[in-house]
Amino acid sequence: MSQGVTIAWFHCFNGIAGDMALGSLIDAGADLDEVRSLCDRLPVDGWEIDAVPVLRGGLAASKVQVRVQATSVVRTAGHVKAMIDEARLPSRVRDRSQRAFEALAQAAGRLHRRPGGQVHFQDIGSLETIIEIVAACAALETLGIDEVCASKVTLGSGMTRGPHGLEPVPSPVVIELLRAAPTQGIDVPMQLTTATGAAFLAATVVGWGPMPSMTIQASGFGAGDREIEGRANVTQVVLGVRTANEEPGQPVTLLEANLDDATGEVLAHAVSALLGAGAFDAWLTPILMRAGRPGHKLSALVDSALTSQVADVLRAETGSGDIRGHRLERWPSARHADQVDVAGRSVRVQVSAGRVKVEHDDAARAARHIGIPVREVVSLAEEAWRRRERGELTEVRPLPDSREPEHPTDGPEIA
């Protein structure tokens, strides 16, 4: 691919599944042998990947077939994470794959709460799912993709049989995974978007909506299993380059409302609700209103495709009948989640270009267990991450004069 920011835009006009995402990338030029080679690093045998040309609704597409040996193994989120860590994959393949399974674990945890906090994946933790997700992320890497974008995601309808019996379409786990994504349902009685496809999008997409401005270099179609009358059962991917001298930002909307009759508790809850509805950011600004009345301006920055959804939440939480909006652009930096070890405590960090930011809740939790100030935990966590990037030690401990208790709690605390 040419120099510049490379983009893969998935057009999910008929939904998306893990094999369809992988098939579209192979159809667009990803080398299947290179993909297999990266997947071979996983510490598991008994799988094969092939791709064959097919027609779906008159469109030429690649149909990926992932074949695995039958097994009764039930994997937990921790098992899958350990497998991917052990594989020593390229950093972007590892991070994208881990984020997909983290999203699956969080969705499964919300739907099937288990004692002790352990999440069992069942069918969505199968070897087939693992291979599909890691292979799709490997295909992105072989194509040199820097950013992933996607259109509105199409969902089917009706009922399907799951591991616990009949369940609705779209499935509950797909709904959880696409909670902040623009979606549309159509009257096709089948699962158009699978949990694997939704997890892949949740882990990789940095912007939703129409195809971004780019110089198109390739495109491909990944086929689903069945022919659908009147519809092409495919997922499309378009690959291109955003040139350095013409770099449009991501379209966003700034929503605002002036409030003078809301309590602090209501305002704080409204900010949380807006973030939960998919806003990139939400904040409050003190203002003076008519007749010198004190008030607040509640603001939310949202993806343009989610404007209506977030505006409805703002209206419901505040009762405001006067919401205004401004069209803007933003240039988000790519970032990924990571974690480091500080005196035996697991601390999550967000890593972006030239910066590592420690998750405050993890730092506060570690500070309580270790017995040192939060700011010291933050400093130690940043130092641990930098050391690991340099290939040095991955764990740091407080200085000898810190107030670490004699018997700290063993193991990382589950958030």
Together in a domain, 190 and 295:
no
Domain coverage including residue 376: 335-396
Same domain, 82 and 153: yes
Strand order of the sheet with strand 205-208?
47-56, 59-68, 215-223, 234-242, 5-11, 147-150, 205-208
| Domain co-membership, 280 together with 148 | no
Q: Are residues 286 and 326 in the same domain?
A: yes
In this structure, is residue 235 part of a structural domain?
A: yes
Q: Which long-range contacts (CB under 8 A, 24 or more apart) does 390-399 make?
A: 394/340, 394/341, 395/340, 395/341, 395/342, 395/343, 395/344, 396/341, 396/342, 396/343, 397/342, 397/343, 398/343, 398/370, 398/372
Tell me, yes or no, whether 101 and 49 share the same domain. Answer: yes
Q: Where are the beta strands (DSSP E) in 224-323?
A: 234-242, 250-259, 281-288, 294-303
Measured CA to CA, the distance from residue 79 to residue 95 in angstroms comes to: 16
Cα–Cα distance, 99 to 101 (Å, whole number)? 6
Whether residues 82 and 201 share a domain: the answer is yes
Task: Indicate whether 406 belongs to any domain.
Answer: no
Answer yes or no: do 47 and 93 share one domain: yes
* The amino acid at 216: I
pLDDT at 84: 94
Q: In CATH, what number is assigned to the domain containing residue 288?
A: 3.30.70.1380
392 falls within a domain: yes
Q: Is residue 411 part of a domain?
A: no
d(CA 111, CA 46): 30
State the Cα–Cα distance between residues 172 and 164, nearest whole angstrom.
12
Is 12 contained in some domain? Answer: yes
Walk along the chain (415 residues) and give the pLDDT tens digit of each residue: 446 899 999 999 999 999 999 999 999 999 999 999 999 999 999 999 999 999 999 999 999 999 998 877 777 888 899 999 999 999 999 999 999 999 988 887 777 655 444 555 555 568 899 999 999 999 999 999 999 999 999 999 998 776 667 889 998 889 999 988 999 999 999 999 999 999 999 999 999 999 988 899 999 999 999 999 889 999 999 999 986 545 667 889 999 999 988 899 999 999 999 999 999 999 999 998 888 889 999 999 999 888 999 999 999 999 887 899 998 888 777 777 888 888 888 899 888 766 788 998 899 999 999 999 999 999 998 888 888 877 765 556 665 544 444 444 444 443 3
Distance in angstroms (rounded) separating the CA atoms of residues 177 and 104: 7
Give the DSSP letter string of 338-377: EEEEETTEEEEEEEETTEEEE-HHHHHHHHHHHTS-HHHH
413 found inside a domain: no
Q: How much is the pLDDT for 390?
A: 74
Last residue of a domain, one of 292, 314, 330: 330
Are 32 and 178 members of one domain?
yes
In a domain, 156, yes or no: yes
412 within a domain of the structure (yes/no):
no
- 218 vs 232: CA distance, rounded Å: 19
**Residues 218, 351: one domain?**
no
Which of 283, 309, 330 represents a domain boundary (last residue)? 330
Query: 364-393 burial, b for 16+ CB within 10 Å, e for fewer?
Result: ebbbebbebeeebbbbbbbbbbeebeeeee
Report the SS3 class of residue 236.
strand
User: pLDDT at position 403, please?
Assistant: 43
If asked whether residues 173 and 279 sit together in one domain, one would say no
Number of folded domains that form the chain: 3
Q: What is the CATH number of the domain that holds 378?
A: 3.10.20.300
Angle at 203 between CA 200 and CA 207, to 5 degrees: 100
- Apex 51 CA angle, 47 and 53, nearest 5: 160
Give the span between the Cα atoms of 95 and 6, in whole angstroms. 18
Question: What is the number of other CB atoms lying within 10 angstroms of the CB of residue 229?
Answer: 7
- 272 and 152 fall within a common domain: no
| 104 in the same domain as 15 | yes
Which amino acid would we find at residue 236?
Q
Q: What global pTM score does this model have?
A: 0.62
Domain C-terminal end among 242, 273, 304: 242
